[in-house]
Protein backbone atom coordinates (compact mmCIF):
# COMPACT_ATOMS: atom_id res chain seq x y z
CA UNK A 1 0.00 0.00 0.00
CA UNK A 2 2.82 2.40 0.87
CA UNK A 3 4.58 1.55 -2.37
CA UNK A 4 1.38 2.23 -4.31
CA UNK A 5 1.00 5.62 -2.60
CA UNK A 6 4.58 6.53 -3.48
CA UNK A 7 4.05 5.56 -7.10
CA UNK A 8 0.82 7.57 -7.31
CA UNK A 9 2.50 10.54 -5.63
CA UNK A 10 5.39 10.38 -8.05
CA UNK A 11 3.04 10.19 -11.04
CA UNK A 12 1.04 13.13 -9.70
CA UNK A 13 4.19 15.18 -9.22
CA UNK A 14 5.36 14.36 -12.74
CA UNK A 15 1.95 15.33 -14.12
CA UNK A 16 2.09 18.68 -12.29
CA UNK A 17 5.60 19.30 -13.60
CA UNK A 18 4.53 18.39 -17.15
CA UNK A 19 1.50 20.69 -17.01
CA UNK A 20 3.64 23.49 -15.60
CA UNK A 21 6.26 23.04 -18.30
CA UNK A 22 3.58 22.99 -20.99
CA UNK A 23 2.03 26.18 -19.61
CA UNK A 24 5.42 27.89 -19.49
CA UNK A 25 6.22 26.90 -23.06
CA UNK A 26 2.83 28.14 -24.23
CA UNK A 27 2.96 31.50 -22.49
CA UNK A 28 6.63 32.49 -22.69
CA UNK A 29 7.66 35.68 -24.47
CA UNK A 30 10.42 36.16 -27.00
CA UNK A 31 12.73 39.15 -26.69
CA UNK A 32 14.09 39.33 -30.26
CA UNK A 33 13.11 42.42 -32.25
CA UNK A 34 14.90 42.21 -35.57
CA UNK A 35 16.67 44.98 -37.44
CA UNK A 36 15.85 48.52 -36.28
CA UNK A 37 15.47 50.15 -39.67
CA UNK A 38 12.39 52.34 -39.25
CA UNK A 39 12.36 55.56 -41.32
CA UNK A 40 13.37 58.54 -39.22
CA UNK A 41 11.02 60.92 -41.01
CA UNK A 42 7.51 60.67 -39.45
CA UNK A 43 5.73 60.96 -42.81
CA UNK A 44 7.87 58.23 -44.33
CA UNK A 45 7.13 56.08 -41.31
CA UNK A 46 3.37 56.54 -41.76
CA UNK A 47 3.63 55.78 -45.45
CA UNK A 48 5.59 52.64 -44.66
CA UNK A 49 2.93 51.62 -42.15
CA UNK A 50 0.19 52.16 -44.73
CA UNK A 51 2.10 49.95 -47.17
CA UNK A 52 2.62 47.25 -44.55
CA UNK A 53 -1.10 47.26 -43.70
CA UNK A 54 -1.85 46.58 -47.37
CA UNK A 55 0.89 43.96 -47.71
CA UNK A 56 -0.44 42.17 -44.63
CA UNK A 57 -4.04 42.45 -45.89
CA UNK A 58 -5.17 43.76 -42.50
CA UNK A 59 -8.50 45.06 -43.79
CA UNK A 60 -9.63 41.58 -44.83
CA UNK A 61 -10.21 40.51 -41.23
CA UNK A 62 -10.65 43.89 -39.54
CA UNK A 63 -13.21 45.51 -41.85
CA UNK A 64 -16.70 44.02 -42.08
CA UNK A 65 -18.49 44.17 -45.42
CA UNK A 66 -20.20 47.55 -45.56
CA UNK A 67 -18.53 48.60 -42.32
CA UNK A 68 -16.00 51.26 -41.48
CA UNK A 69 -12.31 50.67 -42.12
CA UNK A 70 -10.55 48.61 -39.43
CA UNK A 71 -13.57 48.74 -37.08
CA UNK A 72 -13.76 44.94 -36.92
CA UNK A 73 -16.73 42.61 -37.04
CA UNK A 74 -15.62 40.39 -39.93
CA UNK A 75 -16.69 36.79 -39.22
CA UNK A 76 -13.84 34.29 -39.58
CA UNK A 77 -15.35 30.79 -39.71
CA UNK A 78 -13.24 27.92 -38.38
CA UNK A 79 -13.97 24.24 -37.70
CA UNK A 80 -14.17 25.19 -34.01
CA UNK A 81 -16.64 28.06 -34.31
CA UNK A 82 -16.56 31.66 -35.50
CA UNK A 83 -14.07 34.34 -34.51
CA UNK A 84 -14.67 38.01 -35.32
CA UNK A 85 -11.98 40.46 -36.35
CA UNK A 86 -11.56 43.04 -33.56
CA UNK A 87 -11.71 46.81 -33.81
CA UNK A 88 -8.17 48.14 -34.40
CA UNK A 89 -9.05 51.79 -34.93
CA UNK A 90 -7.57 54.23 -32.37
CA UNK A 91 -10.81 54.47 -30.39
CA UNK A 92 -9.73 54.44 -26.74
CA UNK A 93 -12.63 52.40 -25.37
CA UNK A 94 -13.41 49.87 -28.10
CA UNK A 95 -10.28 49.90 -30.29
CA UNK A 96 -6.55 50.13 -29.68
CA UNK A 97 -6.43 53.84 -28.83
CA UNK A 98 -5.21 53.10 -25.31
CA UNK A 99 -2.55 50.69 -26.57
CA UNK A 100 1.15 51.51 -26.72
CA UNK A 101 3.58 50.42 -29.41
CA UNK A 102 4.81 47.80 -26.92
CA UNK A 103 1.26 46.42 -26.58
CA UNK A 104 0.90 46.20 -30.35
CA UNK A 105 4.26 44.47 -30.66
CA UNK A 106 3.18 42.01 -27.97
CA UNK A 107 0.14 41.05 -30.07
CA UNK A 108 2.05 40.58 -33.33
CA UNK A 109 5.16 38.98 -31.91
CA UNK A 110 3.97 36.98 -28.90
CA UNK A 111 0.29 36.49 -29.71
CA UNK A 112 -0.95 38.23 -26.55
CA UNK A 113 -3.39 41.07 -26.03
CA UNK A 114 -2.64 44.20 -24.04
CA UNK A 115 -3.70 42.55 -20.79
CA UNK A 116 -1.75 39.35 -21.49
CA UNK A 117 -4.75 37.38 -22.78
CA UNK A 118 -3.67 34.65 -25.21
CA UNK A 119 -4.98 35.38 -28.70
CA UNK A 120 -6.63 32.80 -30.90
CA UNK A 121 -4.43 31.84 -33.87
CA UNK A 122 -7.10 32.89 -36.36
CA UNK A 123 -5.06 36.07 -35.92
CA UNK A 124 -1.93 34.80 -37.69
CA UNK A 125 0.62 35.72 -35.05
CA UNK A 126 2.19 32.36 -35.86
CA UNK A 127 3.46 34.13 -39.00
CA UNK A 128 3.46 37.75 -37.81
CA UNK A 129 5.98 36.87 -35.11
CA UNK A 130 8.60 37.03 -37.87
CA UNK A 131 7.89 40.73 -38.49
CA UNK A 132 10.58 43.12 -37.20
CA UNK A 133 9.90 45.56 -34.37
CA UNK A 134 10.62 48.45 -36.76
CA UNK A 135 7.87 47.31 -39.14
CA UNK A 136 5.46 46.66 -36.26
CA UNK A 137 6.04 50.20 -34.97
CA UNK A 138 5.47 51.68 -38.43
CA UNK A 139 2.25 49.71 -38.81
CA UNK A 140 1.06 50.82 -35.37
CA UNK A 141 1.88 54.44 -36.17
CA UNK A 142 -0.25 54.22 -39.32
CA UNK A 143 -3.19 52.61 -37.51
CA UNK A 144 -3.12 55.51 -35.04
CA UNK A 145 -4.07 57.81 -37.95
CA UNK A 146 -7.21 55.84 -38.88
CA UNK A 147 -10.53 57.50 -38.01
CA UNK A 148 -11.55 56.19 -34.56
CA UNK A 149 -14.75 54.14 -34.56
CA UNK A 150 -16.69 53.37 -31.40
CA UNK A 151 -17.65 49.77 -32.02
CA UNK A 152 -17.10 47.05 -29.42
CA UNK A 153 -15.27 43.98 -30.67
CA UNK A 154 -17.48 40.92 -30.81
CA UNK A 155 -16.56 37.97 -28.61
CA UNK A 156 -15.68 34.67 -30.31
CA UNK A 157 -18.49 32.18 -30.76
CA UNK A 158 -16.61 28.91 -30.25
CA UNK A 159 -17.69 25.42 -29.32
CA UNK A 160 -16.65 23.88 -26.00
CA UNK A 161 -13.83 23.25 -25.10
CA UNK A 162 -12.26 25.54 -27.72
CA UNK A 163 -13.77 28.55 -25.98
CA UNK A 164 -11.48 27.95 -23.00
CA UNK A 165 -8.54 30.28 -23.63
CA UNK A 166 -6.42 28.57 -21.00
CA UNK A 167 -6.13 25.59 -23.35
CA UNK A 168 -4.35 27.85 -25.85
CA UNK A 169 -1.25 27.51 -23.70
CA UNK A 170 -1.03 23.83 -24.62
CA UNK A 171 -1.70 24.57 -28.32
CA UNK A 172 0.99 27.24 -28.36
CA UNK A 173 3.47 24.97 -26.61
CA UNK A 174 3.00 22.45 -29.40
CA UNK A 175 2.74 24.70 -32.45
CA UNK A 176 4.04 28.22 -31.78
CA UNK A 177 7.64 29.39 -31.56
CA UNK A 178 7.89 33.20 -31.35
CA UNK A 179 10.88 34.84 -32.97
CA UNK A 180 11.82 37.40 -35.60
CA UNK A 181 13.04 35.91 -38.84
CA UNK A 182 16.77 36.33 -39.25
CA UNK A 183 18.29 36.88 -42.69
CA UNK A 184 20.07 33.92 -44.27
CA UNK A 185 23.61 35.17 -45.04
CA UNK A 186 23.95 32.52 -47.73
CA UNK A 187 21.13 34.00 -49.80
CA UNK A 188 20.66 37.26 -51.67
CA UNK A 189 18.98 40.35 -50.26
CA UNK A 190 16.13 39.80 -52.73
CA UNK A 191 15.61 36.19 -51.60
CA UNK A 192 15.59 37.20 -47.93
CA UNK A 193 13.08 39.97 -48.62
CA UNK A 194 10.84 37.50 -50.45
CA UNK A 195 10.99 34.99 -47.60
CA UNK A 196 10.21 37.75 -45.09
CA UNK A 197 7.06 38.71 -47.01
CA UNK A 198 5.91 35.16 -47.80
CA UNK A 199 6.49 33.66 -44.36
CA UNK A 200 5.82 36.77 -42.26
CA UNK A 201 3.61 39.69 -43.16
CA UNK A 202 2.02 37.96 -46.17
CA UNK A 203 1.18 34.91 -43.97
CA UNK A 204 0.84 32.72 -47.09
CA UNK A 205 0.94 29.58 -44.92
CA UNK A 206 -2.43 30.54 -43.42
CA UNK A 207 -4.05 29.23 -46.61
CA UNK A 208 -1.36 27.39 -48.58
CA UNK A 209 -0.22 24.98 -45.87
CA UNK A 210 -2.18 21.90 -44.75
CA UNK A 211 -3.63 21.98 -41.24
CA UNK A 212 -3.93 19.20 -38.70
CA UNK A 213 -7.03 18.35 -36.64
CA UNK A 214 -6.22 21.15 -34.17
CA UNK A 215 -5.94 23.76 -36.90
CA UNK A 216 -2.15 24.07 -36.82
CA UNK A 217 0.23 24.17 -39.75
CA UNK A 218 3.57 22.39 -39.55
CA UNK A 219 6.83 23.81 -40.83
CA UNK A 220 7.77 20.36 -42.16
CA UNK A 221 4.80 20.48 -44.56
CA UNK A 222 5.90 23.76 -46.12
CA UNK A 223 3.56 25.49 -48.56
CA UNK A 224 2.18 22.20 -49.85
CA UNK A 225 -1.37 23.46 -50.35
CA UNK A 226 -4.56 22.58 -48.55
CA UNK A 227 -8.31 22.97 -48.36
CA UNK A 228 -9.20 26.28 -46.70
CA UNK A 229 -11.38 25.36 -43.70
CA UNK A 230 -15.06 26.26 -44.01
CA UNK A 231 -14.63 28.04 -47.36
CA UNK A 232 -14.40 24.88 -49.49
CA UNK A 233 -11.69 26.38 -51.69
CA UNK A 234 -8.33 24.73 -52.24
CA UNK A 235 -5.18 26.82 -51.86
CA UNK A 236 -2.77 25.21 -54.34
CA UNK A 237 0.81 24.22 -53.50
CA UNK A 238 3.42 26.94 -53.82
CA UNK A 239 6.21 24.41 -54.25
CA UNK A 240 7.86 23.78 -57.61
CA UNK A 241 6.10 20.54 -58.40
CA UNK A 242 5.55 20.77 -62.19
CA UNK A 243 2.03 19.32 -62.14
CA UNK A 244 0.37 20.65 -58.99
CA UNK A 245 2.65 23.55 -58.05
CA UNK A 246 4.62 26.39 -59.60
CA UNK A 247 7.16 24.27 -61.46
CA UNK A 248 6.22 25.74 -64.86
CA UNK A 249 6.14 29.30 -63.56
CA UNK A 250 8.90 31.89 -63.48
CA UNK A 251 9.44 34.41 -60.69
CA UNK A 252 8.09 37.03 -63.09
CA UNK A 253 4.90 34.97 -63.60
CA UNK A 254 4.33 34.88 -59.84
CA UNK A 255 4.92 38.62 -59.52
CA UNK A 256 2.45 39.27 -62.35
CA UNK A 257 -0.28 37.24 -60.65
CA UNK A 258 0.28 39.05 -57.36
CA UNK A 259 0.13 42.53 -58.91
CA UNK A 260 -2.43 42.05 -61.70
CA UNK A 261 -4.43 38.94 -60.84
CA UNK A 262 -3.40 37.41 -64.18
CA UNK A 263 -0.44 35.32 -65.30
CA UNK A 264 0.43 33.14 -68.26
CA UNK A 265 -0.59 29.94 -66.47
CA UNK A 266 -3.54 31.03 -64.36
CA UNK A 267 -5.63 33.85 -62.95
CA UNK A 268 -6.61 34.64 -59.37
CA UNK A 269 -10.06 33.47 -58.37
CA UNK A 270 -12.03 32.79 -55.22
CA UNK A 271 -10.27 33.83 -51.98
CA UNK A 272 -7.03 34.59 -53.86
CA UNK A 273 -8.84 37.14 -56.01
CA UNK A 274 -9.81 38.93 -52.79
CA UNK A 275 -6.19 38.82 -51.59
CA UNK A 276 -4.97 40.35 -54.86
CA UNK A 277 -7.69 43.00 -54.79
CA UNK A 278 -7.15 44.08 -51.21
CA UNK A 279 -3.45 43.39 -50.76
CA UNK A 280 -0.92 42.14 -53.27
CA UNK A 281 -1.82 44.48 -56.15
CA UNK A 282 -0.38 47.23 -53.94
CA UNK A 283 3.02 45.56 -53.64
CA UNK A 284 5.93 47.28 -55.29
CA UNK A 285 7.36 45.54 -58.35
CA UNK A 286 10.49 44.78 -56.32
CA UNK A 287 8.60 43.13 -53.46
CA UNK A 288 6.35 41.10 -55.75
CA UNK A 289 9.36 39.83 -57.66
CA UNK A 290 11.21 39.07 -54.43
CA UNK A 291 8.31 36.85 -53.36
CA UNK A 292 8.48 35.12 -56.72
CA UNK A 293 12.24 34.57 -56.38
CA UNK A 294 11.79 33.04 -52.93
CA UNK A 295 8.91 30.77 -53.99
CA UNK A 296 10.90 29.56 -56.99
CA UNK A 297 13.63 28.44 -54.60
CA UNK A 298 11.32 26.00 -52.83
CA UNK A 299 11.86 22.31 -53.64
CA UNK A 300 9.98 20.49 -56.37
CA UNK A 301 8.76 17.88 -53.93
CA UNK A 302 5.76 16.01 -55.38
CA UNK A 303 2.57 16.93 -53.59
CA UNK A 304 0.87 14.01 -51.88
CA UNK A 305 -2.90 13.78 -52.03
CA UNK A 306 -5.24 12.04 -49.62
CA UNK A 307 -7.91 11.99 -52.33
CA UNK A 308 -8.23 8.58 -54.02
CA UNK A 309 -7.26 8.54 -57.69
CA UNK A 310 -10.28 8.64 -59.99
CA UNK A 311 -9.74 6.94 -63.38
CA UNK A 312 -11.26 8.54 -66.47
CA UNK A 313 -12.85 6.32 -69.09
CA UNK A 314 -12.35 6.99 -72.82
CA UNK A 315 -16.10 7.62 -73.12
CA UNK A 316 -15.97 10.30 -70.41
CA UNK A 317 -12.98 11.95 -72.11
CA UNK A 318 -14.84 11.96 -75.42
CA UNK A 319 -17.99 13.48 -73.96
CA UNK A 320 -16.01 15.95 -71.83
CA UNK A 321 -14.07 17.02 -74.93
CA UNK A 322 -17.32 17.61 -76.80
CA UNK A 323 -18.62 19.87 -74.02
CA UNK A 324 -15.28 21.70 -73.94
CA UNK A 325 -15.36 22.40 -77.66
CA UNK A 326 -18.93 23.66 -77.40
CA UNK A 327 -18.62 25.82 -74.30
CA UNK A 328 -14.95 26.58 -73.54
CA UNK A 329 -12.67 26.44 -76.58
CA UNK A 330 -13.67 29.82 -77.96
CA UNK A 331 -11.96 31.56 -75.03
CA UNK A 332 -9.50 29.00 -73.66
CA UNK A 333 -8.55 27.80 -77.19
CA UNK A 334 -8.68 24.25 -78.64
CA UNK A 335 -5.42 23.14 -76.99
CA UNK A 336 -6.08 24.85 -73.68
CA UNK A 337 -3.44 27.48 -74.39
CA UNK A 338 -5.69 30.41 -73.44
CA UNK A 339 -5.50 33.95 -74.76
CA UNK A 340 -2.72 36.08 -73.33
CA UNK A 341 -3.99 38.87 -71.11
CA UNK A 342 -7.61 37.76 -71.45
CA UNK A 343 -8.36 34.14 -70.59
CA UNK A 344 -5.83 31.95 -68.76
CA UNK A 345 -4.33 28.78 -70.15
CA UNK A 346 -5.76 25.53 -68.84
CA UNK A 347 -2.72 23.50 -69.86
CA UNK A 348 -0.37 23.51 -66.88
CA UNK A 349 -2.75 25.64 -64.82
CA UNK A 350 -2.30 24.74 -61.11
CA UNK A 351 -5.97 25.50 -60.45
CA UNK A 352 -6.79 22.74 -62.93
CA UNK A 353 -4.09 20.25 -61.92
CA UNK A 354 -4.32 20.72 -58.14
CA UNK A 355 -4.67 17.56 -56.03
CA UNK A 356 -8.21 18.70 -55.23
CA UNK A 357 -10.51 19.52 -58.16
CA UNK A 358 -12.84 21.69 -56.09
CA UNK A 359 -11.62 25.05 -57.48
CA UNK A 360 -11.99 23.98 -61.09
CA UNK A 361 -15.46 22.59 -60.37
CA UNK A 362 -16.60 25.74 -58.60
CA UNK A 363 -15.33 28.00 -61.37
CA UNK A 364 -17.28 25.99 -63.93
CA UNK A 365 -20.38 26.14 -61.73
CA UNK A 366 -20.16 29.76 -60.56
CA UNK A 367 -17.93 31.46 -63.13
CA UNK A 368 -14.46 32.88 -62.79
CA UNK A 369 -13.81 36.53 -62.09
CA UNK A 370 -10.30 37.90 -61.79
CA UNK A 371 -9.94 41.00 -59.58
CA UNK A 372 -10.00 44.47 -61.12
CA UNK A 373 -6.54 45.82 -60.31
CA UNK A 374 -4.71 49.03 -61.12
CA UNK A 375 -2.60 47.13 -63.66
CA UNK A 376 -5.59 45.24 -65.11
CA UNK A 377 -8.69 47.36 -64.40
CA UNK A 378 -11.04 45.55 -66.79
CA UNK A 379 -10.34 41.82 -66.57
CA UNK A 380 -12.32 39.38 -68.65
CA UNK A 381 -14.69 37.16 -66.71
CA UNK A 382 -16.04 33.68 -67.23
CA UNK A 383 -19.82 33.15 -67.04
CA UNK A 384 -21.26 30.46 -64.72
CA UNK A 385 -22.31 27.16 -66.29
CA UNK A 386 -23.99 25.70 -63.22
CA UNK A 387 -27.48 26.21 -64.63
CA UNK A 388 -26.55 24.95 -68.07
CA UNK A 389 -24.64 21.79 -67.14
CA UNK A 390 -25.74 19.03 -64.76
CA UNK A 391 -23.41 17.27 -62.32
CA UNK A 392 -22.49 14.53 -64.82
CA UNK A 393 -21.68 17.09 -67.51
CA UNK A 394 -19.47 19.12 -65.17
CA UNK A 395 -17.69 15.98 -63.95
CA UNK A 396 -16.86 14.91 -67.51
CA UNK A 397 -15.82 18.43 -68.54
CA UNK A 398 -13.49 18.95 -65.59
CA UNK A 399 -12.11 15.42 -65.98
CA UNK A 400 -11.31 16.21 -69.61
CA UNK A 401 -9.58 19.48 -68.71
CA UNK A 402 -7.56 17.83 -65.93
CA UNK A 403 -6.26 15.14 -68.29
CA UNK A 404 -5.59 16.94 -71.58
CA UNK A 405 -2.66 18.88 -73.10
CA UNK A 406 -0.11 17.37 -70.73
CA UNK A 407 -2.27 17.65 -67.60
CA UNK A 408 -2.32 14.44 -65.56
CA UNK A 409 -4.55 15.17 -62.59
CA UNK A 410 -7.10 12.36 -62.59
CA UNK A 411 -10.86 12.36 -62.94
CA UNK A 412 -13.78 13.95 -61.13
CA UNK A 413 -16.96 12.25 -59.93
CA UNK A 414 -20.52 13.61 -60.12
CA UNK A 415 -20.68 13.31 -56.32
CA UNK A 416 -17.76 15.75 -56.00
CA UNK A 417 -19.60 18.17 -58.27
CA UNK A 418 -22.75 17.80 -56.20
CA UNK A 419 -20.83 18.62 -53.02
CA UNK A 420 -19.16 21.62 -54.63
CA UNK A 421 -22.51 22.87 -55.87
CA UNK A 422 -23.89 22.65 -52.33
CA UNK A 423 -20.81 24.43 -50.93
CA UNK A 424 -21.15 27.30 -53.40
CA UNK A 425 -24.72 27.93 -52.21
CA UNK A 426 -23.56 27.97 -48.56
CA UNK A 427 -20.85 30.49 -49.27
**Residues 274-300 pLDDT 10s:** 999 999 999 999 999 999 999 999 998
CATH number of residue 419's parent domain: 1.10.760.10
| β-bridge pairing 381-382 and 233-235 | unpaired
**365 and 237 housed in the same domain:** no
C-beta atoms surrounding 129 within 10 Å:
20
pLDDT for 21 equals: 57
| Least trusted range by pLDDT, from 29-38, 138-147, 374-383 | 29-38
**246 and 362 housed in the same domain:** no
Is the predicted pLDDT of residue 365 greater than 90, yes or no? yes
Nearby residues of 368 by Cβ (< 8 Å), 6 or more positions away: 267, 269, 381, 382
- As a whole number, the mean pLDDT across the chain is 90
> What interhelical angle do 251-260 and 271-278 show, nearest 10?
80
Query: Is position 411 within any domain?
Result: yes
42-46 contacts at long range (C-beta below 8 A, 24 or more positions apart) = 42/141, 45/137, 45/138, 45/141, 46/138, 46/141, 46/142, 46/145
pLDDT for 117 equals: 94
| Least trusted range by pLDDT, from 209-218, 367-376, 417-426 | 417-426
**281 and 363 housed in the same domain:** no
Domain span at residue 240 reads 189-296
**212 and 285 housed in the same domain:** yes
Phi, psi of 72 (to 5 degrees): 80, -175
**323 and 388 housed in the same domain:** yes
What average pLDDT does the segment 190-203 reach? 97
Query: Is position 4 within any domain?
Result: no
Cite the annotated binding site for heme c by residue number.
58, 61-62, 204, 207-208, 328, 331-332
| Residue 265 vs residue 407, higher pLDDT | 407
Is the predicted pLDDT of residue 74 greater than 90, yes or no? yes
| Least trusted range by pLDDT, from 110-119, 220-229, 366-375 | 220-229
Cite the annotated binding site by residue number.
58, 61-62, 204, 207-208, 328, 331-332
Q: Is 242 exposed, middle or buried (0-12, 13-18, 19+ CB in 10 A)?
A: middle
**397 and 322 housed in the same domain:** yes
CA dist 393 and 397 (Å) reads 6
Alpha-helix residue ranges (DSSP H) falling in 176-266? 189-196, 205-208, 251-260
Query: Is position 90 within any domain?
Result: yes
Query: Is position 135 within any domain?
Result: yes
Domain count, the chain: 3
**46 and 140 housed in the same domain:** yes
Amino acid sequence: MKLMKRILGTLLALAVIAVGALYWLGTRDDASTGAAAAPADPQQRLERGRYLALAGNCMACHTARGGQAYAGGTPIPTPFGTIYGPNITPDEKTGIGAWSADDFWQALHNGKSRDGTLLYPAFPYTEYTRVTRADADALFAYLRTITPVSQPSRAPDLDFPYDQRLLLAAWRALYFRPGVQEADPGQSTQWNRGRYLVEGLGHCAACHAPRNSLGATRAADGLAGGLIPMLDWYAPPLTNDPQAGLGRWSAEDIAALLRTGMAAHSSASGPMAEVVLGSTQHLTEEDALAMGVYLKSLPATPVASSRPAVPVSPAAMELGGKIYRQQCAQCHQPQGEGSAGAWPALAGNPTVTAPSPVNAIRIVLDGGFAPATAANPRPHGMPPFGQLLNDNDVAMLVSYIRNSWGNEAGGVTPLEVKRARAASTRN
